[in-house]
């Protein structure tokens, strides 16, 4: 790799967004954060929405700064985001309304409605995706039942990251990895599932063509080039789903590894060559999502640090402003195994008073309520670690292959206590890093699209060369095994 190229990554999360400038040269990646902004739901009438105008304005500010800070030509811009959410364009190519937030309560009860229209097992067979009421399929079903007039006006449905790209280049498409989160795609074929649309009564004609990760989809619009003071730049479909980028940037070398993308959500799984859709994956509620370079991400969506984030927000409302570092220190000093919760309990999905909800679940399950903040933080982290073990064991049962190493990437690795607990609970070595896996994957998939990188293996080698990784060896395994056996027996 002789040449040096620069790329811009727009990485949109459900809490914040950032724009990164990446430089790829000599088998190394340099990353520079040039702009960060807050993101989150807004109340619009009685619903939770995304303020897309504000979001796109922030994205433009970040891109303008990145172009200014680049020393020379920018070879591409790639956008990634969370999954399932989308915008509806009218026939004039404009948004019909503010996109809904996946935590809006309009999908309450929609899984049951869907099962009345199509057998649950048949839905899984047609999609291969885990059942979550936030999935695009149930958001659209809710719209068909409650707001059919809006759906009738729709010309195109575009998922969030691709919606930003559409505003940058004018081309509508559905990048494969992001589209795969919708439960509207047949993961055996990588195309829209006709059966799902017909049985749920949804309009398949509004779905755009599927684009593969690592392809150039258009050029930056002329008016934006003038605004930014630049020449036309390629807009590149990376892994538009942030987890697809994060998994692309797993610094794996050996075989027999699993990944955990740790943040608001914990996404844990393995990389496989073909979708695995059978009785076991159905019973374990595993999902098959699109990966880069013809891979499938066989994974489980787990509620992640959302629980701690929501507790912290509530404690702040109550007058206690504790940092995550404070909470981690307090959790480390708290009593081990004072309680256990299922992080994926339905009552934890919506924003609100999370400490009260956790205590309600503890009471329901004949456990003591917790008033100490450090103790509650510890219960959350231990419960997450135990969930990781359950998922690891399920993966081994499905694939009939042992997991020897757990790679954890993403912002959640800043919580070193959780990384250590994950090693303890699973009994496996944890390799943590990089924090910036999503941005790294985004940039390096752009380099793949331009021909600067030739393979996924080479991409991962660059990640290993570019970031410091930390290892966690299992500790107190016998004690953790005993506690896991105790909670599993209830």
Catalytic residues: 242
Cβ neighbourhood burial of 451 (10 Å; 0-12, 13-18, 19+): exposed
How far apart are alpha carbons 396 and 419 in whole angstroms? 20
* Cβ-based neighbours of 489, under 8 Å, separated by 6 or more: none
Torsion of CA 171, 176, 178, 183, to 10 degrees: 120
Under the phi-then-psi rule, with left for phi > 0, alpha for psi from -120 to 50, and beta for the rest, what region is 98? beta
How far apart are alpha carbons 380 and 384 in whole angstroms? 6
């Amino acid at each position: 790799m002789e040449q040096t190229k620069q790329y811009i990554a727009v990485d949109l999360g459900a809490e914040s967004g950032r724009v990164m400038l990446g430089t790829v040269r000599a088998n190394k990646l340099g990353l520079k954060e040039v702009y960060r902004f807050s993101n989150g739901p807004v109340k619009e009438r009685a619903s939770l929405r995304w303020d897309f105008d504000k979001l796109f304005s922030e994205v433009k500010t970040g891109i303008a700064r990145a172009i200014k800070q680049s020393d020379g030509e920018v070879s591409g811009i790639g956008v990634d985001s969370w999954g399932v959410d989308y915008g509806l364009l009218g026939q004039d190519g404009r948004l019909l309304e503010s996109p809904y937030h996946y935590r809006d309560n309009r999908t309450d009860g929609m899984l049951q409605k869907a099962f009345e229209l199509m057998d649950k097992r048949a839905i899984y067979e047609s999609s291969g995706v885990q059942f979550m009421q936030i999935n695009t399929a149930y958001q659209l079903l809710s719209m068909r039942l409650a707001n059919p007039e809006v759906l009738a006006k729709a010309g195109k449905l575009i998922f969030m990251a691709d919606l930003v790209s559409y505003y940058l280049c004018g081309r509508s498409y559905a990048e494969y990895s992001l589209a795969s989160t919708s439960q509207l795609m047949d993961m055996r074929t990588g195309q829209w599932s006709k059966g799902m649309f017909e049985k749920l009564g949804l309009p398949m004609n509004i779905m755009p063509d599927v684009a593969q990760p690592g392809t150039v989809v258009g050029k930056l619009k002329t008016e934006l080039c003038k605004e930014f003071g630049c020449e036309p730049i390629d807009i590149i479909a990376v892994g538009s789903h942030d987890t697809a980028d994060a998994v692309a940037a797993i610094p794996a070398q050996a075989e027999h590894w699993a990944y955990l993308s740790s943040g608001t959500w914990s996404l844990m799984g393995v990389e496989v060559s073909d979708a695995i859709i059978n009785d076991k994956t159905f019973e374990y509620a595993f999902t098959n999502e699109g990966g880069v370079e013809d891979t499938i991400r066989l994974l489980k969506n787990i509620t992640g640090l959302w629980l701690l984030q929501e507790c912290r927000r509530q404690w702040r409302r109550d007058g206690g402003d504790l940092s995550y570092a404070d909470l981690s220190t307090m959790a480390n000093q708290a009593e081990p195994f004072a309680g256990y919760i299922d992080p994926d309990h339905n009552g934890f999905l919506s924003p609100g008073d999370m400490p009260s909800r956790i205590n309600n679940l503890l009471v329901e399950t004949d456990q003591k309520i917790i008033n100490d903040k450090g103790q509650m933080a510890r219960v959350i982290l231990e419960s997450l670690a135990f969930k990781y073990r359950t998922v690891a064991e399920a993966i081994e049962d499905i694939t009939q292959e042992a997991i020897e190493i757990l790679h954890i990437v993403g912002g959640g690795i800043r919580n070193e206590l959780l990384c250590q607990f994950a090693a303890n609970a699973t009994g496996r070595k944890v390799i943590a890093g990089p924090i910036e896996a999503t941005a790294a994957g985004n940039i390096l998939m752009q380099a793949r699209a331009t021909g600067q990188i030739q393979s996924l293996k080479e991409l991962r080698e660059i990640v290993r060369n570019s970031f410091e990784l930390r290892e966690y060896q299992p500790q107190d395994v016998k004690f953790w095994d005993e506690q896991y056996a105790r909670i599993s027996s209830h």
